[in-house]
Structure 1
Amino acid sequence: MSEAVSFEVRGRVGWITLMRPQARNAISKDMALAMAAQLREWRQDDAVRVVAVTATGPAFCAGADLKASGTPGPGEPDLLDTLVAFFDTLRAFPKPTIAAVNGLAIAGGLETVLACDFVIAAQSARFGDAHSNFGVFPGGGGAAVLPRKIPLNIAKYLLYTGESLPAADMKQYGLVAEVVADEELVARVQAIGDKLATKSPLVLRKMKKVADEAADKPLADALRHELLELRNHQRSYDITEGLRAFAEKRTPEFKGY
């Protein structure tokens, strides 16, 4: 597994790096299982406050490794099961997640990106669905999540044509937060992760929960949810520490409760 995907903690940022450049970082069943397991471990690790996903080589990820999908035994999960479990685990991860997209992200690679909170992309990065090129149907969010992230007509263009668009265009459409020089990608994402790690992990977790659920609620319900979270947050250590640090003109030391 170490040759296919690596896991490393730098500061308080957990890095997942796909390492199959010869296969355009296509995700195998073993890789999906390992990444989901590592996310579950980091979920419980207070030392890790942010997770970044990136890859080596010219591609971020070309999707599932269909050539190595094989036939599972009776009762065993197949490649689709493990991929969806990985996407679900990444999407539900309670801490901030960043897609550091170094190159081509298509099919399951795009779905990996869609499962992250936001995207920092290298100038050479491109984004597309590509399932239609091979008569394959998306199963990890391509058709269901992409139209929630970018304008519907652009999502349909990518879904129907199988084409990919450059990072600059996807920034214009709202999927990408920043586009940086290729050689600056990892350093920039690490800097953002380091900055997020200084924030209250409790605040970020609650913000993520409210923001993720807001789109499926009427505005009044979303506002009510936000207010309830604030009421609960007023009992926390972190808000007391933050206000005390503000009054004392020092940097707060948040503990996440």
Structure 2
Amino acid sequence: MVRSSPQANVIRRVDAPDHALVRSAPRRNLVPSAPVTLAIDGPIASITLALPGGLLDRAGSEALADAARGAADAPGVRVVVVSGDFGTGWSASALAEPESIPAVPSLAVGIEALAAIPQPVIAALDGPARSAGLEIALGCDIRLASEGATFAMPDTAAGSVPRGGGTQRLPRAVGRGQALRLLLTGEVIDAIEAKRIGLVSRVVPSNELAGTSRALAEAIAARGPIATRLAKEAVHRGAEMTLEQALRYETDLTVILQSTADRAEGVRAFQEKRAPHFTGE
């Protein structure tokens, strides 16, 4: 049984614990077939993609943005897992949209919101992730793949370039040479090749992907949430700095962390030889 909450884009399952929320966006799609759903289970938020026809359109992109912001803002969430159908590209309606229209959000608003989540984000890829689908995956921090997953950036075959950050995030993930190989040829690669070039971190059988991604999420969630956020921030921001600037920034973040209750708890737990209990404070 499902009961609608006062917020139209939130569904609370009455047979589930209070913290188990499912966010469905856009608001007009309050059904299981919504393009994107957000479920929160304690410290782990799960974003599930069910894009119509496996294609990302404006509604799907805005739904992804809504889910990403919901996960980022949810109290107690320490890690986010993105799974489902990443898809094979942009819809025809999306490709027909002109870019840079004043007062109209970018078509890639969902990917940008996903990349902006401060908590660590895991992508669990099972099936094709091409064009916009691969760009969604690149908006995540850690990518796990099933043996049947495939990857491609075929946009140049249609006389266009990726419009969801692919030309920038792909080389940051796999290096300039491998990125250009995929961007310029549109080559479809399998999960083993994706792991070889560093696009994914691990490849597992399809029936083990959900459990593997959940175990990784639980391992991250058990660590200091402020520390994991700051470590992610140091890596992402540091990549845009000189080494000297990045090292100074890392030191600044360390100083901030030392003033937190979690840092004190970590020191006490180490001295007392017990597992720490982090509160995110």
- TM-score w.r.t. the length of structure 1 is 0.90
Q: Quick one: which of 45, 52, 62 aligns to 2:74?
A: 45
Question: Partner residue of 1:109?
Answer: 133
Q: Deviation at 1:47?
A: 2.5
Q: Deviation at 1:182?
A: 0.7
Match status 1:5 vs 2:5: no
Gaps of 5+ in 1: none
Identity %: 33
Asked if the contact 2:56–2:94 (Cα under 8 Å) also holds between the matched residues in 1, the reply is no
Distance in 2 (CA, whole Å) between partners of 1:113 and 1:154 is 17
Q: Deviation at 1:211?
A: 0.4
- Aligned residue type for 1:122: S
Instruction: State the Cα deviation string for residues 76-126 of structure 1 (Å, max 9, x = none).
Output: 63xxx4532111111111000011111111111111111110100111111
Match status 1:14 vs 2:45: yes
Alignment partner of 1:251: what SS?
Answer: coil
- Aligned residue type for 1:61: G
Instruction: Please list, as runs of the form range in 1=range in 2, the aligned pairs for 1:171-250 lying within 5 A after superposition.
Output: 171-250=195-274
- Aligned residue type for 1:49: R
Q: Deviation at 1:155?
A: 1.2
The verdict on how the C-alpha distance between 1:222 and 1:75 changes in structure 2, with shifts beyond 3 A counting, is closer
Distance in 2 (CA, whole Å) between partners of 1:157 and 1:75 is 34
Instruction: State the Cα deviation string for residues 7-63 of structure 1 (Å, max 9, x = none).
Output: 22234221111124x61x21221221122112212212122211111114xxx3112
Alignment partner of 1:51: what SS?
Answer: strand
Asked if the contact 1:143–1:159 (Cα under 8 Å) also holds between the matched residues in 2, the reply is yes
Asked if the contact 2:94–2:107 (Cα under 8 Å) also holds between the matched residues in 1, the reply is no
Alignment partner of 1:55: what SS?
Answer: strand
Alignment partner of 1:175: what SS?
Answer: coil
Instruction: State the Cα deviation string for residues 222-251 of structure 1 (Å, max 9, x = none).
Output: 111111111121111011001111112222
Gaps of 5+ in 2: 1-28
Distance in 2 (CA, whole Å) between partners of 1:249 and 1:233 is 21
The verdict on how the C-alpha distance between 1:104 and 1:231 changes in structure 2, with shifts beyond 3 A counting, is same
The verdict on how the C-alpha distance between 1:169 and 1:70 changes in structure 2, with shifts beyond 3 A counting, is closer
The verdict on how the C-alpha distance between 1:86 and 1:70 changes in structure 2, with shifts beyond 3 A counting, is same
Distance in 2 (CA, whole Å) between partners of 1:28 and 1:153 is 30
- Aligned residue type for 1:17: T
Instruction: Please list, as runs of the form range in 1=range in 2, the aligned pairs for 1:131-146 lying within 5 A after superposition.
Output: 131-146=155-170
Distance in 2 (CA, whole Å) between partners of 1:176 and 1:238 is 31
Distance in 2 (CA, whole Å) between partners of 1:7 and 1:121 is 21
Q: Quick one: which of 76, 85, 89 aligns to 1:63?
A: 89
- TM-score w.r.t. the length of structure 2 is 0.82
The verdict on how the C-alpha distance between 1:235 and 1:68 changes in structure 2, with shifts beyond 3 A counting, is closer
How well do the aligned residues superpose, as a CA RMSD in angstroms? 2.0
Q: Quick one: which of 87, 90, 115 aligns to 2:111?
A: 87
Q: Which has the higher contact order (CA 8 A, sep 6+)?
A: 1
Query: How many residues in Structure 1 have an aligned counterpart in Structure 2?
Result: 248
Distance in 2 (CA, whole Å) between partners of 1:219 and 1:146 is 21
The verdict on how the C-alpha distance between 1:35 and 1:166 changes in structure 2, with shifts beyond 3 A counting, is same
